[in-house]
Chains A and B, each alone.
Chain A
């Protein structure tokens, strides 16, 4: 019987694999940036860390998720170019890589705008604004603006995508209409504040930080995670990831109010990784049990082992931030290496669980009766 699904699963799995390559090379590039094996002539530039993590990994993954949901071939333009950008950036084809980033983010923005056209709801608008933010950030990037000027737009991509997704999912909690409108207003205010940072970095980021704290507070109040934390297995695990991620968002907001939006150095490192590791990776851990089946059709069997990488992620991030605040490069190094370890341990856990299940499910070969001699 032919399935109604138009795009075969192996294409999705292949692109998922390229997203994983983007992640691993992005992590490696981050380590090189921190002075990993200084005597070695590294094949991956430390400058590729941001583009690989934001576009090669997150752009491909989120683009893939949306394209798979739509199940239309044209929707795959975004993730395919995002995946291609990883290959070009790794092989040093910078110009082609930059073109791929732009085409990939245009593709993703068109998909999100199309979803808003299909269902003009606020959560789709927020997600579309997230994709648009990625495009803005990438345009600044190809026009050689300094990273500290565009990184807010790069951050807005996963942050807004997650805000939109949570607003959509939390419909089941039936939050009051006014509360939903306030949430959308806060998010739109946050995007405007991000724009203001280009004219006045202090006022823009202070406003954005304050709004970030209130948005995180809204999520703690209305997210289903407060209920599902009493559940079991993946459901409970996701809730822990979500709530701790919101916690990091509040801390990032407080950090931003206190220290502003530095342009380089340890405080800049601290602020960015509170958002990208503390919030974004926590969300990735939270949603992995949904993302993997949605793309591969395979459920990840639960194991309490998954709490180990989560604990390491948050624990080592706290160490890293401490190193940033106290200006102790070695402490920061330990923390950041620990973060890489946590992410790899999570990936290994997912792969092991998927493989062990498929091995268990393999049917026994039929017994062949020996014919009498």
Chain B
């Protein structure tokens, strides 16, 4: 695959594997991923946390970086935490089922 044609759907699929352990929902369905920017082998994922004091912020950042690193086509990546716009519960995907997702430790 050409490095300029990174599949954003593949990135989104990988990011769906990042589960917020407090809510048992992946970060894409929670509405925490704001942007996936791709440019010639470089990917920037802009994401947020439910609150600036969210204790899971570091964990989520590490998980996002791991998922991006796992994609072969990506040369360079950045998991960029942003606070604008402010996250709210209306950003959660409609009808999402909380805590229905297998806990992360089951899948490890």
How many A-B contacts if CB must be within 8 Å? 109
Partner pick for B55 among A4, A69, A227, A234, CB 8 A cutoff? A69
Taking a contact as CB atoms under 8 Å apart, the answer to whether B98 and A299 are in contact is no
Q: Is A65 an interface residue (CB 8 A)?
A: yes
In the complex, how many residues of chain A place their beta carbon closer than 8 angstroms to a beta carbon of chain B?
44
Q: Is B85 an interface residue (CB 8 A)?
A: no
Q: Known contacts A1-B65, A66-B53, A171-B89; can you find 6 more A-B pairs with CB under 8 A?
A: A4-B78, A66-B55, A69-B53, A172-B23, A234-B103, A302-B103
Taking a contact as CB atoms under 8 Å apart, the answer to whether A69 and B105 are in contact is no
**CA A1 – CA B103 in complex, angstroms?**
28
**SS of B interface (majority):** loop
Taking a contact as CB atoms under 8 Å apart, the answer to whether A299 and B108 are in contact is yes
Surface stretch bound by A, among B7-15, B32-40, B56-64: B56-64
Q: Using a CB-CB cutoff of 8 Å, which residues 92-147 of chain A contact chain B?
A: 112, 115, 118-119, 121, 123-124, 127
Contacts of B51 in A (CB 8 A): 115, 119, 121, 123-124, 168
**How near does chain A come to B89, taking the closest CB pair, in angstroms?**
5
**SS of A interface (majority):** helix
Q: Using a CB-CB cutoff of 8 Å, which residues 58-91 of chain A contact chain B?
A: 65-66, 68-71
Contacts of B61 in A (CB 8 A): 3-5
Taking a contact as CB atoms under 8 Å apart, the answer to whether B98 and A124 are in contact is no
Q: Mark B2-32, 1 if CB is under 8 A from A, else 0.
A: 0000000000000000000111100000000
Closest partner residue, chain A, to B104 (CB atom): A299
Would you mind naming 15 contact pairs between A and B with Cβ atoms under 8 Å apart? A1-B76, A4-B78, A68-B58, A69-B52, A69-B54, A118-B52, A119-B53, A127-B53, A168-B53, A172-B92, A234-B103, A235-B24, A235-B103, A290-B22, A293-B21
